Structure 1
Amino acid sequence: MTTPARTALVTGGASGLGAAAAERLRADGVKVTTLDLAGADVQADVTDEQALRQLAADIGPLDILVNSAGIVGPNAPLVDTTPEQWRRVLDVNVVGTVNTMRAFVPGMRARGWGRVVNFASMAGKDGNPNLSIYSASKAAVIALTKSAGKELATSGVLVNVITPAVIATPMNDSTAPDVLEHITGLIPMKRIGRPEEVAELVAFLASERVSFSTGAVYDISGGRATY
C-alpha cells in the first residue's frame, strides 16, 4: 500500500519565495495548492478569515502550511508613517499568518502530524531603517512562531520560521534603491539570495527530515545574521 502524498498550502504562492517553495515541494512529490490575490491555484486574501475557513473545508486535510504572503509597506521614517499604514501591513503579515494557522493547524493537530513554515525577515531581528512597520511585523511573526511552536510541541505539528536577508524577488522591486543597497551591503557574501536557495530550506522544514526542531528561527542571510 502506497503512502498518500503530503498536501501543502503555500500562501503568496504566485511569485517570489512562495512560488519557489511551491515548485520545490512539488519536486518532492507534495500535492501543493498555491494561494494569492491573483495568479495562483486559489485566489484569496489572507486577511479574509472566512474565506480561509471555507478553503480549509474545500481542500480537506492539509499536512504542510507555508506562510509566504506578505507586503513591505511604506519606505519612510517612523514619524512619517500613519496608523492606517501600520494596520494594513500588520493585517497582512501578522494577522494573515494567524488566520491561516487558525484555519489549518487544528486539522494537523487532530491527525498528529503537520509542518508550518512561516516567513519573517532579517528585518524582524535587526530592524531596517525606514522600514519600521515591516520590521515590526516580521518581529511579530518570529514571536508568534516561537509561541505556537511551544503550544504544539507534543502534538506532532512543528512550527518554524525562516528569516531571509534580501532575496531577489518581485517584493524587492518596490524597495528604494538606497535601502536595497544598504541591506545588501550588510551581507558578508556581498550578494542577495536566490529564491531557490530559500526553497531548499522550506523543503527541509516541511518534511519528516526535521523532527526535533520547533519554534525555531532559521536564518538564510549570506552571513548577515549574528544571533
Structure 2
Amino acid sequence: MSGVLTGKTALVTGSSAGLGEGIALRLAEDGAQVCLHGRNMERLAAARDRVAAATGGTVHAVAGDLSTNEGAQAVGKDVLAAMGGIDILVNNAGGESAGNGTSEWLDVSPEEWVATYNSNVASMVRMIRLAVPGMRERGWGRLIQLSSQSVDTPMPTIPDYQSAKAAIRALTRSLAKALAGTGITANSVSPGLTHSTNTDEWIRWMLSQQGWDGNAAEFDAKSDELMGHNFVGRVGQPADIAHAVAFLADPRAGMVNAIDILVDGGH
C-alpha cells in the first residue's frame, strides 16, 4: 500500500466485478477507505470480501439502482452512513446499448437512445450532485468518470452507447469549469478494449468462431492475438485502467483537471 490516499474515502460505482472492482482494489491499496457499489448484493459482497482480503483495508458495499433519482438517493444515503463522506467519486456504473449490441444506426429507437443516456450519463449526474456539496465543504474532491475509446473511433453500430460516452467527456469538462477554485477536480478516463465480464464473454465467442477449444490457460494469449490491435499488442487489463484512475485521484495530481486519459495502447 502506497498510503497516498490514507484518510480519503472513495466510492466506485459499478464495482461488483471486472473494471470497477479493479479500480476499487487499487484505491484501497493506496490507502483509501473504499465503498463498492452494484445492483446484486451477493456479487457485491463477494467483491468487497476480495478487496478487503487483498488490502486489509476498510471496505464497504452498498447496493442500489442509479437509473432513478430515488435509487441514487438511497445509495448516497447508505454510502454517507458507511463512510461519512465521499472524497473520491469514480463513476463507472453504466450499461451497454439499450438496443441489441450490434444494432445498426437506424435500428436503435429514440426510446432506446433515452434509456442508454439515462443509464450511462444521468446516473453519473445523480451521483455527482450527491457528492459535490460535501466536497465543497471540505475544499477537496476528485470526480472521475469512465468514458470510452469508442468516442474517438466510433463504429456505425451502437450509436446510442457511443454518443452517451461522448457526453460523459463533455459533462466532465463543463463540471471542471463549474467547480473552478473549489479544490475539486473533474476528469475522465477512456478505456480501449479491456478484459471484463462482458468483454470476455464476447471475446470467447469470437475465438470459438475461429475454432478455439476453450482452454482457459490460453485465453489471454489468444485474446491478444485476436484483438490486441494496438501499439502495445494486447487487450487491456482492469489494472491498466485502475492505474490511470489512481493517478487522477492522487492529491499530487491537483493540477490535472478537465482532461480525458485515453488508455487503449495507442489504438
- Residues 11 and 34 in structure 2, CA contact (< 8 A), matched pair in contact too: yes
- Residues 72 and 171 in structure 1, CA contact (< 8 A), matched pair in contact too: no
Counterpart residue number, 1:6? 8
Query: C-alpha distance in 1, partners of 2:21/2:6?
Result: 23
- Please, which of 132, 152, 160 is the counterpart of residue 105 of structure 1? 132
1:55, CA displacement in angstroms? 3.4
Query: C-alpha distance in 1, partners of 2:201/2:70?
Result: 30
- Residues 149 and 215 in structure 1, CA contact (< 8 A), matched pair in contact too: yes
Q: Which has the larger radius of gyration?
A: 2
- Please, which of 12, 17, 20 is the counterpart of residue 18 of structure 1? 20
Query: C-alpha distance in 1, partners of 2:7/2:72?
Result: 22
What is the TM-score with the length of structure 2 in the denominator?
Answer: 0.76
1:117, CA displacement in angstroms? 0.8
Counterpart residue number, 2:30? 28
- Residues 124 and 140 in structure 1, CA contact (< 8 A), matched pair in contact too: no
1:84, CA displacement in angstroms? 2.8
SS at match of 1:209: helix
- AA partner of residue 16 (structure 1): G
Query: C-alpha distance in 2, partners of 1:4/1:48?
Result: 32
- Residues 123 and 134 in structure 1, CA contact (< 8 A), matched pair in contact too: no
* CA 221–4 in structure 1, closer or farther in 2 if over 3 Å, else same: closer
- Please, which of 57, 61, 72 is the counterpart of residue 96 of structure 2? 72
- AA partner of residue 75 (structure 1): T
SS at match of 2:251: coil
Pair 1:50-2:70 in alignment? yes
- AA partner of residue 9 (structure 1): L
* Sequence identity (%): 34
Pair 1:207-2:250 in alignment? yes
- Residues 6 and 32 in structure 2, CA contact (< 8 A), matched pair in contact too: no
User: Cα deviations across residues 156-191 of structure 1 (Å, max 9, x unaligned)?
Assistant: 00010001111011132454749x99x946523232
Alignment gaps of 5+ in structure 1: none
- Please, which of 150, 168, 185 is the counterpart of residue 195 of structure 2? 168
Counterpart residue number, 2:169? 142
Alignment gaps of 5+ in structure 2: 45-60, 208-222
Give the aligned length.
220
* CA 132–185 in structure 1, closer or farther in 2 if over 3 Å, else same: farther
Query: C-alpha distance in 2, partners of 1:54/1:101?
Result: 14
SS at match of 2:103: coil
SS at match of 1:117: strand
- Residues 6 and 31 in structure 2, CA contact (< 8 A), matched pair in contact too: no
- Residues 193 and 235 in structure 2, CA contact (< 8 A), matched pair in contact too: yes
What is the TM-score with the length of structure 1 in the denominator?
Answer: 0.89
- AA partner of residue 89 (structure 2): L
Of Structure 1 and Structure 2, the greater helix share is in 2
- Residues 93 and 138 in structure 1, CA contact (< 8 A), matched pair in contact too: yes
1:125, CA displacement in angstroms? 2.4
What is the CA RMSD across the aligned residues, in angstroms? 2.2
Tell me whether 154-163 or 189-198 shows the greater mean CA deviation: 189-198
User: Cα deviations across residues 199-225 of structure 1 (Å, max 9, x unaligned)?
Assistant: 11111111102011111111111012x
Query: C-alpha distance in 2, partners of 1:66/1:108?
Result: 14
- Please, which of 155, 158, 168 is the counterpart of residue 131 of structure 1? 158
